[in-house]
A and B are shown apart, each in its own frame.
Chain A
Amino acid sequence: MSAPRALPVSTPAAGSDGSVPAPTAKPGRGRKRRLPFSAAHLLLLPVSLLFVLPFVQMFLTSVTPEAEINRFPPAFIPSHITFAGFEKLFAESDILRWTGNTVLVSAVAIISNIVLCSLAGYGFARLKFAGRDIGFLAILATIMIPTQLLMIPTYIMFSKLGLIDTLGAAMVPWLASTFGIFLMRQFFLSLPAELEEAAMIDGATRWQVFFRIIMPLAKPAIATLAIFTLLGSWNDLVWPLIAINNADAFTLQLGLSNFQGTRRTEWSLLMAGNVVATLPLILFFLFAQKQFIATMTFSGLKG
């Protein structure tokens, strides 16, 4: 079949070269500059600091001696840095197991979402078949259902299927998502149809077209879907709280929630745990953010 690189039209993938939203707007607007730097810095710098502040606080607290945390008046920075919280975290809790469980849940969720949502997104965007509109409508309607409504029936259903207390209970709800189907559909709609038509005239089947031509083009959208799925499945708390009691199947969020006792909370330990739970996400985000912004720009998610 035709090689995907010989594409006639500029495609979204071409936009993901890293130059992030290329600013087309506002060339020179009769500027009367006095500052040696853009005035935007004056605004962006404090705003950025404000946005980062809670993370700074989280990290600071995790290395503050426990006795200093609830002292009055509170200090802005700890008198000295201690890693006692982290040491306790790794020595006394099952954080490594929780991390492993969470990685597994998220990995399965991401892979499954990519495969299933791409297929469905493509089907809804490009194929014409009986019941398509009703199917898509039903999927969209699910955004409006408060998930808390579904928990009791889902719990009963899962317990009959033997999923309760297993990692499966945390995984199954993330195998596919409304958001993912919507995102991928929007992305595929933005692709010119000529590509596929040409390939089909050459005798390729839909499936061949999908896997050889469409999927390679969809990398930026897939990256976005991966980020959202990772965030959702990694950070999920309320459902695992209900569905998993077995300490062997604890996810990170579930394990950390046990640090906040009804009667005592060790802040340095709790914050250390949250640093460990959040850091991978921050790193992943830094790594994938260019792709992420690029897809949001080019896919139809803006509309």
Chain B
Amino acid sequence: MSVPKAVFSGRPATFAASSAVGGSAPAKTAGPPPAGGPAGGGPRRRRRRLLQSLEGWGFVGPALVIVLGLSIFPAVWAFFLSLQKWDGFSDPKFLGAGNYREMLADGELGGAVLHTVVYTVLFVPSSVLLGLFLAVALNRRIRFIGLYRTAIFVPFVASAAATGILTTYLFSPQFGLFNNILRVLNMPQQGWLEDPGQAMIVITIMSLWGQAAFTTVIYLAALQDVPGDLLEAARIDGASSWQTFWRVVFPQLAPVTVFVAIWQTIQAIQLFDLVYTTTRGGPLNATETIVYFLWQAAFKNLQFGYGSAVAYGLFGATLLITIGVVLYSRRTKMEAF
């Protein structure tokens, strides 16, 4: 457990290329102002430290109790569940690692892993690129820019339920708008959510619709930090705007990109709501993701133990991926955390 600690909280989280406001701050946050003196010391020092600790916990304690009480505590509980066979109806039976062994041999779970990977591969790069693209497009002072921004950001407020209903509605093969347009244009009708080959793509499109605001805003913010003189210099060197962007601006955005990619990956790996409100895993399990699988195991088949075991497997995988990406980005000096 020492690795992630260093990774996440070893230093204040700011980019190397932080804004003018943020840039100077981290160095000053290291400690309470008038510390000093070597460690150790007499009872008075110890007392002061105790007071400091009390004060610190006074600030963070309430939120910490709630967040951890509603996650770590049930998560530990769920770990014990994952060692049992229990359907809520009858008495639990202890299995040890039995559920975990069963996981390895479960073909349907293998399918769910595959679908999750497919979705992640579809969603993460496209959401990063879309965010970047929209941010660059929106980052200018032209007429109606406020309207454009609002239009692109507003889907962010739509609930998963509303998004799901709209997806089924817009992509209905019989009555949906998109097939209707295709029909008018005399183009072949598509199965969309009812076609195992297209369903995941439709879900990706609607996720992008709802989530584009997130990556866009973050990139928009990061674009403000690109130093003007860099751009000026590039311009004087005669670079085209395309070149300027990829050679000068984009490298400045690298840390944001790492952050956004990790964040979106964690979101993508946990895809559930939109599947739940649209396809329920179908057609032919084509959209059954890991979290949907574990939901179904726990709440439809009432295998609470097995569902918890799968969730733990997912948690472990997410942790490994995150650590991997962070270590890699550190080595390549694109510090995101």
Asked if chains A and B are in direct contact (CB within 8 A), the reply is yes
Given contacts A20-B149, A176-B63, A257-B161, contact A123 B56 (CB under 8 A): yes
Inter-chain contact A140/B166, CB cutoff 8 Å: no
A96: Cβ under 8 A from any B Cβ: no
Main secondary structure of the interface of A (DSSP, over half): helix
Chain A count of residues within 8 A CB distance of the other chain: 130
A119: Cβ under 8 A from any B Cβ: yes
Inter-chain contact B221/A150, CB cutoff 8 Å: no
Chain B residue, CB-CB nearest to A10: B21
A84: Cβ under 8 A from any B Cβ: no
Chain B residue, CB-CB nearest to A237: B161
Inter-chain contact A238/B272, CB cutoff 8 Å: yes
Enumerate chain A residues within 8 angstroms of B315, measured Cβ to Cβ.
144-146, 149
Given contacts A40-B140, A297-B221, contact A120 B298 (CB under 8 A): no
Inter-chain contact B169/A48, CB cutoff 8 Å: no
Chain A residue, CB-CB nearest to B295: A148
Inter-chain contact B81/A153, CB cutoff 8 Å: yes
Chain A residue, CB-CB nearest to B259: A303
In residues 203-255 of chain B, which contact A (Cβ within 8 Å)?
Answer: 209, 212, 217-218, 220-226, 228, 231-232, 235, 241, 244, 249, 255
Smallest beta-carbon distance B59→chain A, Å: 3
Given contacts A144-B266, A152-B81, contact A129 B153 (CB under 8 A): no
Smallest beta-carbon distance B272→chain A, Å: 6
Task: Select which of A23, A26, A153, A176 is within 8 A of B67 by beta carbon.
Answer: A176
Inter-chain contact A139/B223, CB cutoff 8 Å: no
Q: How far is the CA of A31 from the CA of B149 in the complex (A)?
A: 24
Q: How far is the CA of A25 from the CA of B294 in the complex (A)?
A: 46
Task: Select which of B19, B59, B137, B154 is within 8 A of A122 by beta carbon.
Answer: B59
Enumerate chain B residues within 8 angstroms of A128, measured Cβ to Cβ.
30-32, 52, 56
In residues 75-112 of chain B, which contact A (Cβ within 8 Å)?
Answer: 75, 77-78, 81, 88
Q: How far is the CA of A188 from the CA of B188 in the complex (A)?
A: 55
Q: How far is the CA of A286 from the CA of B59 in the complex (A)?
A: 32
Main secondary structure of the interface of B (DSSP, over half): helix
Inter-chain contact A119/B221, CB cutoff 8 Å: no
B311: Cβ under 8 A from any A Cβ: yes
Inter-chain contact B15/A119, CB cutoff 8 Å: no
Smallest beta-carbon distance A227→chain B, Å: 9
Smallest beta-carbon distance B228→chain A, Å: 5
Inter-chain contact A300/B13, CB cutoff 8 Å: yes
Task: Select which of A51, A144, A146 is within 8 A of B322 by beta carbon.
Answer: A144
Inter-chain contact B159/A253, CB cutoff 8 Å: yes
Smallest beta-carbon distance B286→chain A, Å: 20
Chain A residue, CB-CB nearest to B65: A176
Enumerate chain A residues within 8 angstroms of B30, measured Cβ to Cβ.
128
Given contacts A138-B72, A189-B29, A267-B169, contact A143 B266 (CB under 8 A): yes
In residues 68-113 of chain A, which contact B (Cβ within 8 Å)?
Answer: 69-74, 76
Enumerate chain B residues within 8 angstroms of A130, measured Cβ to Cβ.
49, 53, 56
In residues 122-170 of chain A, which contact B (Cβ within 8 Å)?
Answer: 122-154, 156-157
Enumerate chain B residues within 8 angstroms of A2, measured Cβ to Cβ.
none
Stretch from B4-12, B36-44, B118-126, B194-202 contacting the other chain? B4-12
Q: How far is the CA of A141 from the CA of B68 in the complex (A)?
A: 10
Q: How far is the CA of A46 from the CA of B155 in the complex (A)?
A: 15
B147: Cβ under 8 A from any A Cβ: yes
Inter-chain contact B33/A197, CB cutoff 8 Å: yes
Inter-chain contact A134/B55, CB cutoff 8 Å: no
Inter-chain contact A300/B304, CB cutoff 8 Å: no
Smallest beta-carbon distance A116→chain B, Å: 4
A61: Cβ under 8 A from any B Cβ: yes
Q: How far is the CA of A11 from the CA of B73 in the complex (A)?
A: 39
Task: Select which of A123, A156, A242 is within 8 A of B60 by beta carbon.
Answer: A123
Smallest beta-carbon distance B311→chain A, Å: 3
Given contacts A146-B270, A153-B81, contact A127 B63 (CB under 8 A): no
In residues 18-67 of chain A, which contact B (Cβ within 8 Å)?
Answer: 20-27, 29-30, 37-38, 40-41, 43-45, 47-49, 51-55, 57-58, 61
Task: Select which of B19, B74, B156, B319 is within 8 A of A150 by beta carbon.
Answer: B74
Smallest CB-CB A-B distances: 5 pairs: A129-B56, A123-B59, A235-B159, A149-B311, A153-B74
A-B contact pairs, 16 of them (CB 8 A): A48-B152, A51-B209, A127-B56, A130-B56, A132-B60, A134-B5, A146-B311, A153-B77, A176-B62, A237-B160, A278-B162, A292-B217, A297-B221, A301-B221, A302-B225, A303-B259
B-contacting residues of A (Cβ < 8 Å)?
Answer: 10-12, 15, 20-27, 29-30, 37-38, 40-41, 43-45, 47-49, 51-55, 57-58, 61, 69-74, 76, 116-117, 119-120, 122-154, 156-157, 172-173, 175-178, 180-181, 185-186, 189-194, 197, 200-201, 206, 210, 231, 234-235, 237-238, 242, 253, 256-257, 260, 267, 270-271, 274, 277-278, 281-282, 284-286, 289, 292-293, 296-298, 300-303
